[in-house]
Amino acid sequence: MLKLVLRRAALGVMTLWAASVLIFAGTQILPGDLAQAVLQNNATPENVAAMRHELGLDRPAVERYVEWLGNAAQGDFGKSLVNQRDVAQELAPRLYNTLFLAVYAALIAVPLALVLGVLTAAFQGRAFDHIANAATLFAISLPEYFLGYLLIKWVALYLGWFPVLANVAPETGFFGRLYLSFLPMLSLVLVIIAHMMRMTRASVLAVMASPYIEMAFLKGLPKWRVVVEHALPNALAPIINVVALNLAYLIVGVVVIEVVFVYPGLGQSMVDAVSKRDVPVVQACGLIFAAAFITLNMVADILALVSNPRLRHPR
């Protein structure tokens, strides 16, 4: 078991390294000259040459990548090209806001999706199952930004229950954060709950076709007890995987939601940095998103190994 966990961890580190190469290369091959973009109207040949030297653009790309990766591993992402502030210090409160929103949505979406998935499996073919499947299919079909705009129009503007913009500040209290970020959270929940519920239902129904489930029914056990005590524990491996993927989406995929609600998170910072061509900030955001996505997938693999002993063997 320890060997398998170490192998998954090593694979995760290699994947993160490959992602760092793509992130660095992607920001380096953008069209135009970064030094000229920074200087704008002051881009004389002398100033451009001096700026290229200051940014290290006159050095080989491999040397710059090794230096950037080594500093990033120590938490040093350099300085912003826009305001010359330390990138790590500038992104720290934004990362906290993004994690707060992701955890807020996960604490509501995951239990609700698991309960609904088990209920739809237990009441397969009945009205509740049909209604839940239709609702989740509708939610999956709508992009998250469209759901966000619908919530803004009807819940924020028409009903006036919540503010249009999620203006969360560092001094905002806990309950104030819950109130201001409710609509972004609800947008994320409506998107991911459908995927998790449908996967939970499919996994439980696949296990329900097993012979030992039929034996449990023959012993006279009620259906809810068979589903909860026998089917659900054996269907945990795929459920854990889809939950982890959706949790990774909550961190990585909040970019659109943060832009729609002007939520001061990491995704909003990345979009602003791309528009201003602030390469150090873009690289830092991309690496943080990649690390979160890869880590959650690695945790999902490890939990799947723990929950299903058959996955520990090559056969």
**pLDDT tens across 51-82, in order?**
666 666 667 778 888 888 888 888 888 888 77
Residue 172's pLDDT band, with cuts at 50, 70 and 90, is confident
Question: Residue 36: what pLDDT?
Answer: 59
Which pTM does this prediction carry? Answer: 0.80
Give the three-class secondary structure for 75.
coil
pLDDT score recorded for residue 32? 63
- Give the DSSP letter of residue 260: H
Q: What is the pLDDT of residues 111-169, one digit of tens each?
A: 888 888 888 877 777 888 888 888 888 877 777 778 888 888 888 888 888 888 888 88
pLDDT at 314 over 60: no
Identify the pLDDT of residue 138.
Answer: 82
Is 190's pLDDT higher than 70?
A: yes
Q: Does residue 31 register a pLDDT over 60?
A: yes
pLDDT tens digit sequence for 200-249: 888 777 777 777 777 777 777 777 777 777 777 777 767 777 777 777 77
Mean pLDDT of 93-113: 88
CA distances from 293 to 98, 135, 208, 297 (A): 14, 28, 32, 6
How far is residue 62's CA from residue 75's CA, in Å, rounded to a whole number? 20
Residue 116's pLDDT is 86
**Would the pLDDT of 5 be above 80?**
no
Domain 96-312 matching CATH 1.10.3720.10: the answer reads yes
Looking at per-residue confidence, does 178 or 213 come out higher? Answer: 178
**What single-letter amino acid sits at 2?**
L
Distance (Å, rounded) from C-alpha 132 to C-alpha 137? Answer: 8
The residue type found at 120 is: T
